Structure 1
Amino acid sequence: MYALARLLFITALSMARSNTSEPSSEENKRIVGGSDVPENEHIPYQVSMQYKTDEGLRHFCGGSIITPNRILTAAHCCDGLNTTRMSVLAGVRNLDDRHGVRSKVLSCTIHPDYKILVTSDIAVLSIDPPLKYSKFRIAPISVEGKEFVGDNVPVTLTGWGRRLPISIPLLDILNYPNSLQRMSYHTISNKQCRESGMEKVTDTEICARGIFRGSCSGDSGGPLVTRTSKGVHQVGIVSYGLSICGLSITPDVYTRVSTFSDWIQSEITK
């Protein structure tokens, strides 16, 4: 229980997007300002990171498939936690889907420069058994390339995070989704991000903002993607934001994937 208590502490301290509440079975839940991914559609690169507690397995972070045995996520999603109690669930839209594929987390490699709320909030999970790709349910996301993403780029976030801007204990049973959520908005420049309250944002991070929409608790580690001429490409990893999610004046901060391209490739080839 120490690891889970630490996860709760980090969440409260850093206002990072870590979900330690057990998912509910209620329908029609959403990322703040988002909506359910349709039943006949899958986000094949999305995984749910889950933690074994006394009450069972709990979703607490997101991640993305980059190879059959490697998952990209945020460093704060495993910093100080017991990896032997972690697993990833792939190939699902709904967390109750019995057709999902579960793999154990063997290790979590955190970037050596990681400092909470400062820089390098990125990690690579090693999992077993390796995932078997399928046409629709399980597939990797492209993360290669060092192109700098500027402002006003359309981006899309997916995850199982909280749908209300703040946590209301009496409504938590209605607040955490089982169905995967999707929401789109636009990046802003790092200068705009700093002027909007995120004063410590560096070029290793990317910001996005929309009107009453954004990432929230439980979306941490999840993929921010954009569509290019070559297909869907991951540009960010959910890192942190203010405690009240989805306010148009407060941007979400993501780890900038392109900055860490060489490090990611080195972890893939180990």
Structure 2
Amino acid sequence: MFGLTRVRRTAAAVAFGAAAAALSTAPSAVAAPRPVVGGTTTTTAEYPFVMQVTDATGGQFCGGTLVAPTKVVTAAHCVVGETPGKLRVVGGRTHLDGTDGTVSEVSRIWFDPGYTDVVDGGDVAVLTLATRMPYATAAYVSPAGTGVYAPGMTARVLGWGTTGENGGSSGQLRTATVPVVSDTECRDSYGSDFVASDMVCAGYPSGGVDTCQGDSGGPLLIGGVLAGITSWGNGCAEAGRPGVYTRLASFSSLVTEQVLT
């Protein structure tokens, strides 16, 4: 890692299961939840397909994207090692302390069978919900949609949590835009930990705008289409260290299989 601090973008505020354990036991993990840095507040009315992934008590630790009424795309590292009964998905709730929206239990967890760690790729999962979500779904990129990742394309990210690397939580859904970074630039930042076939980077050279812990599993939208999943990075919003997202086009066929199951 060339001395870099690898940060899975899963909130460590909720200490349960493998997702939180990975943060608390990994020497390089940063302990505080720190989502969308440099963004602005928004609502689930504006982005109805953005979901909270929570524990059974309602503690949000990851995000997700509704792609069918009972199917949510998220990151594998959010759910690996978990059982469906430990998870909930919340839709239509802008504020973390709200009571509105729809809460669903999870009936099935699927994640890419090749997944072992975020830097090895395959950081994609699909949750099957016990309750249909009454919200608009997001379209996701097709296997042929590699053109959406052209450097400089504007990408939108969304998530809940703090507004700075060591700040406090806003408690409200936030959003920001970041440009897609070329594979060459991303490899310059992360070396062999960047797997171009499975990952895409987005961020400004000077930093300042980024996803962070608590945003894991949430959407990277390009042209209004789900093209990536918030995965990992070095710190948050650091210059020369863009956010790393799952390149969803590489896993689109697998996701479709799960959506149709």
Query: What TM-score, normalized by structure 1, do the two folds share?
Result: 0.82
* Equivalent residue in structure 2 for 1:234, among 205, 226, 236: 226
* Equivalent residue in structure 2 for 1:180, among 173, 180, 205: 173
* 1:206 matches 2:200: yes
* 1:43 matches 2:44: no
Q: Match for 2:181: what amino acid?
A: I
Where 1:95 maps in the other structure, the secondary structure is: coil
| Structure 1 residues not aligned, in runs of 5+ | 22-28, 133-137
Q: 1:13-67: per-residue Cα shift (whole Å, max 9, x none)?
A: 39689x986xxxxxxx972111111x69521110000002xxx421000000010
- 2:160·2:214 contact (CA, 8 Å) conserved in 1? yes
Once the two structures are TM-superposed, the CA of residue 91 in structure 1 deviates from its matched residue by 1.1
- 1:47·1:63 contact (CA, 8 Å) conserved in 2? yes
Once the two structures are TM-superposed, the CA of residue 10 in structure 1 deviates from its matched residue by 1.2
Q: 1:16 to 1:141 in 2, by over 3 A?
A: farther
CA distance in 2, matches of 1:177, 1:6: 26
Corresponding residue of 1:142: 139
* Equivalent residue in structure 2 for 1:259, among 250, 255, 260: 250
Query: What TM-score, normalized by structure 2, do the two folds share?
Result: 0.84
- 1:73·1:222 contact (CA, 8 Å) conserved in 2? yes
Once the two structures are TM-superposed, the CA of residue 6 in structure 1 deviates from its matched residue by 3.4
Corresponding residue of 1:9: 21
Q: Match for 1:126: what amino acid?
A: T
- 1:16·1:217 contact (CA, 8 Å) conserved in 2? no
| Matched ranges for 1:4-83 at <5 A | 4=16, 6-12=18-24, 13=26, 31-37=36-42, 41-52=45-56, 56-83=57-84
Tell me the percent identity: 26
Q: Match for 1:70: what amino acid?
A: K
**Pairwise CA RMSD:** 2.4
Runs of 4+ in 1 over 4 A off after TM superposition: 14-17
- 1:155·1:185 contact (CA, 8 Å) conserved in 2? yes
- 1:42·1:93 contact (CA, 8 Å) conserved in 2? no
CA distance in 1, matches of 2:123, 2:18: 17
| Matched ranges for 1:110-125 at <5 A | 110-116=111-117, 117-125=119-127
| Structure 2 residues not aligned, in runs of 5+ | 1-14
- 1:163·1:216 contact (CA, 8 Å) conserved in 2? no
Q: Match for 2:233: what amino acid?
A: G
* 1:157 matches 2:151: no
Corresponding residue of 1:26: none
- 2:35·2:212 contact (CA, 8 Å) conserved in 1? no
Give the number of aligned pairs: 240
